[in-house]
Amino acid sequence: MLSDLEIAQSAHLQKIGDVSEKLNIAQEALVNFGPYMAKINIKELRQSEKKDGKLILVTAMSPTPAGEGKTTTTIGLTDAIASQGKSVVACLREPSLGPVFGMKGGATGGGYAQAIPMENINLHFTGDFHAITSANNLLSALIDNHIYHGNELGIDPDAITFKRGLDMNDRSLRKITIDNARYQYQGGFDISVASEVMAIFCLASSLDDLTNRLGEIQVAQNLDKNKSPIYAKDLKAQGSMAALLKDAFMPNLVQTLEHNPVLIHGGPFANIAHGCNSYIATQLGVDMADYVVTEAGFGADLGAEKFIDIKCRQTGLKPSLIVIVATIRAMKYHGGKKVEDLNGQDLNALEKGFSNLERHIENCSQHFGLNIVVAINHFQTDTDEEVKFVQDKVEGLGFKAILCSHWANGSKGAELLAQEAMDLVEKPSQFKFLYDTKDSIASKLSTIAQKIYRAKDIVFEDEALIQLKKIEDEYAHFPVCIAKTPYSFSGDPKGIGAVSDHTLTIREIRLVRGAGFIVAICGSVMTMPGLPLKPASEGISINNNGEIEGLS
């Protein structure tokens, strides 16, 4: 028997043309994928004026197995703002098949605060990630093909830095041997959401910009004594790569359970990439709606920092407010409680774990200069005493913490949050970046580590130091993207709470030239994740009615 929620999902979807009218999108601008999903052909939009909507960034405390609910809160807040008669759109990342079949599951929200049709969005959607993977692997094929047919550019097979991609967790592909009978070298795969093509896709402002950026990807070095760089444009790859991405580059339009518009487009991970949806989708939302609610991946130490220091710096976007999502359960976990013991009241653990939320609040207010509100994502096991404790602690820091029940009650459960958000976006703020692009790469990394992670120092492993020296002179002006565990302020995923005075170890430096930033890989974090002991795929199936079950 279907639950009330499943009935709501299946029986009350609005035609996507009706949803598009809430943003005044002309029907001829829609490229339909069935009745409930569409891409938006920006060239066909007929907008008489741009709205310059207020941008609200949803982030969170450090994630835990207890769950925080950023996407759920993003959608709940969107629905609640819409219920006040305002024009609003949510801008989200597309789910990757890696976590869908791995440990995290889908990424469309939960309860009565969901983007739908959930199954389609989580599985293949409109094919964007497949297009990104194909463009990525076309470039890899062109590199090998060029060497095979004489290697006119003098590519050094041992200095090929561009990796193949796959939108799946598969640890066996982290290192592979490329052998085509004429030569052999060591290569590997990144998950597609960590690829430079994905980063470029999400930062490009137009198809021309996308094409030019693709051509600027550095793929290898020359065999000559100067080790001259080889770019994708040297292989004449950018045009065909862009052709594969042409349709994918159009933003995707779906809806919430309450039929409000959602733009879902692009999706780099925040622990290994910059963690934001595409710029063109966000800008489209700002142009079309009074309010845009978007999210950045994982905790504010990763997602919000990269959203501001990479996405906003490159595009000119400027958020008016940060919403920090927290749960009582997550704070107790950061206070030392085990997952199986989180349901019972424990004010001592809550007080210890509050330090994690407090750190994120301090970082966002002090270093980014933005107005802040905390959204307490309610669970049934939360007690009134626990909620009041957190609200009082947040108020003591000079901010508000609002209890939200959007998972169970949809827009009604986030009305107070919506009212506070709409008030705060009208108040002045002092938006700022964390560091100056004129700083050295090492200085930028130290600034993030010391100010955001509260590390005492950073240490470069030998290989990272060599890589840093190679790019420092020419690319010191690039912003930096730290790839590290999302579960702690440190590089150790077991470092719960608000750890300080740790050392951040950087083992690899990657130049992401086309996207315009530097990636610093820390500790044991992998750009090709693996599946857990019991992957989520084990619980996914199709029932006798042809419906997908077990996907969440």
Candidate list 201, 249, 379, 389, residue with the active-site label:
379
270 is catalytic: yes
> Which H or E run contains 133?
helix 128-148
Partners of 183 in the β-ladder: none
Strands 480-483 and 401-404: unpaired
Query: Is 15 among the residues known to form the active site?
Result: no
Pairing mode of beta strands 548-549, 541-542: antiparallel
What sign does the CA torsion over 75, 77, 82, 83 have? positive
Catalytic (active site) residue 115: no
Q: Which of 39, 54, 93, 213 is catalytic?
A: 93
Exactly one of 29, 248, 270, 442 is catalytic; which is it? 270
Catalytic choice (101, 298, 478, 517) = 298
Tokens (6 digits) for 335? 């206070």
| Calpha distance 294→58 (Å, rounded) | 6
Q: In terms of DSSP bridges, do strands 38-40 and 252-256 run parallel, antiparallel, or are they unpaired?
A: antiparallel
CA distance 266 to 255: 17
Strands 164-166 and 38-40: unpaired
Whether 317 and 311 have beta carbons less than 8 Å apart is answered as yes
Catalytic choice (72, 73, 126, 282) = 72
Selecting among 22, 39, 70, 359, the annotated active-site residue is 70
Taking the C-alpha atoms of residue 279 and residue 516, their distance in angstroms, rounded to an integer, is 14
What sign does the dihedral 494-496-498-499 (CA atoms) show?
negative
The token pair at 333 is 């976990």
Q: Side-chain half-sphere of 234: how many Cα atoms within 13 Å? A: 18
Report yes or no: 481 and 306 within 8 Å, Cβ to Cβ.
yes
Active site residue 70: yes
Indicate if 104 belongs to the active site. Answer: yes
Structure tokens at 390: 């957190």
What is Dmax (Cα atoms) for the chain?
Answer: 73
Cα distances (Å, whole numbers) of residue 147 to 144, 153, 155, 501, 527: 5, 8, 7, 48, 26
* Contact criterion met (CB below 8 Å) for 12 and 277: no
Instruction: Give buried/exposed letters for 19-38 (b at 16+ CB in 10 A, else e).
Output: bbebbebeeebbbebeebbb
Catalytic member of 389, 407, 478, 517: 407
DSSP state of 528: S
Q: 481 φ, ψ to 5°? A: -130, 110
Does 383 participate in catalysis according to the annotation?
no
The one catalytic residue in 15, 104, 174, 412 is 104
Identify whether the C-beta of residue 376 lies closer than 8 Å to the C-beta of residue 402.
yes
Q: Which residues are catalytic?
A: 70, 72, 93, 104, 270, 298, 379, 407
